[in-house]
Amino acid sequence: MIVYSSPKDRKWDESDVDLVSLFHWVVDIFLETILTGFWMVYFQLFTTLPVFIRDFVDTSDLVQVLKDWSPGLAQFLADANVEQLAHVLPTIAQNYHEGMGNFQELKWQLVNYKVMVPEFVLRSGLQALIEGKLTARALADDWAANYRQVNPEYIVNIGFGFIVLCQVVISAYLQRWRALPVLVFGTIILSSGIALCGLGTDLVTGGGFIALAVIIFSLGEMIASPKSQEYVAAIAPKNKTAMYMGYYFVSMALGNLFAGLLSGWSYSVITKEMQQQRLMWRLFAAIGAATACSLVIFNRWLSKLATSH
């Protein structure tokens, strides 16, 4: 992009060159900033959601559905690490007995072994282990049988499967509409799926609800992502299409960078310290909504500028 030089199809004077360069520079800044917001929201599915599901969403409802349908599949998708759990339980019980760490911290230790145990069960189980009424292996077997969780990565992969099955059909259907309205609509759908992720912590069917949120998110992605490239190509001058597509991929890289920074801060501060899980996902959704509004404003500004010149 830095060394790019456009073909000289006509003679330009110095003022024309300065004006055109300024115009493309302004468009570059605005376009990259707006699309960076889109990618910041998009990458939360990969940076934040798997950890959030592991720590806060009880997916035992999905485990039960899988057991009823195919016990072997349930064992594969929700395989608790019983050996390691039995090994670490005496240490957790000792910390609990000595008052080291609160219930939430103990729970966060256990979710690393693919089990999410209710508070009263956790307290009674650790107390029984301390008093010698149960062995660590027996307790680990019991918790793995009744409270094991689906691996979060498999829930996120539902979206990939949905895209593989539906992308061609959706893209073919959306060809009849212009890029911008479809891009804005898809961004809103994607942001709605992100906002719904925060509701999965308070529901008995938390796993199923999160899976639904992932499907809604993926629907928005299928609508918006192809049209985002089409929109950039549509507003680019014919001899600068490659440069504008470069801007597009720069925005993707910046979105990936800032998504990681935002994810780390919001998860540690908003979700864990403030215990405001919904607020974090509303923040991500608000960025998506702001991106959709900014795209409309940017397109109107660009259209007026093109008309006046």
Contacts 24+ apart (CB under 8 A), 66-74: 66/150
Predicted pLDDT at 306: 66
What is residue 308's predicted lDDT score, i.e. its pLDDT?
A: 65
Of 59-68, 182-191, 295-304, the one with minimum mean pLDDT is 295-304
DSSP string, 224-273: HHHHHHHHHHHHS-GGGHHHHHHHHHHHHHHHHHHHHHHHHHHIIIIIII
Average pLDDT over residues 170-193: 94
Q: What is the pLDDT of residues 92-117, one digit of tens each?
A: 998 888 876 677 888 888 999 999 99
Average pLDDT estimate for 208-216: 96
Q: What is the pLDDT of residues 136-165, one digit of tens each?
A: 999 999 999 999 999 999 999 999 999 999
Give the pLDDT band of residue 201 (cuts 50, 70, 90).
confident
Whether the pLDDT of residue 256 is over 80: the answer is yes
CB 184, CB 93: distance < 8 Å: no
Whether residue 255 contacts residue 39, with contact meaning beta carbons closer than 8 Å, is answered with yes
Query: Is it the case that residue 16 has pLDDT exceeding 80?
Result: no
Strand partners, 148: 115
Residue 291 CB: number of other CB atoms within 10 A? 25
CATH topology for the 22-57+151-308 domain: Growth Hormone; Chain: A; (1.20.1250)
pLDDT of residue 45: 94
What confidence tier does 32 reach under pLDDT thresholds 50, 70, 90?
confident
Q: Is 70 exceeded by the pLDDT of residue 14?
A: no
The predicted structure's pLDDT at residue 303: 79
The answer to whether residue 12 scores a pLDDT higher than 50 is: no
What are the residue boundaries of the structural domains of the chain, listed by start?
Answer: 22-57+151-308, 79-147
β partners of residue 115: 148
Least confident span in 132-146, 209-223, 229-243, 246-260: 229-243
The three-state secondary structure class of 148 is strand
Q: How far is 81 from 247, CA to CA, in rounded Å?
A: 45
With a cut of 70, say whether residue 19 has pLDDT above it. no
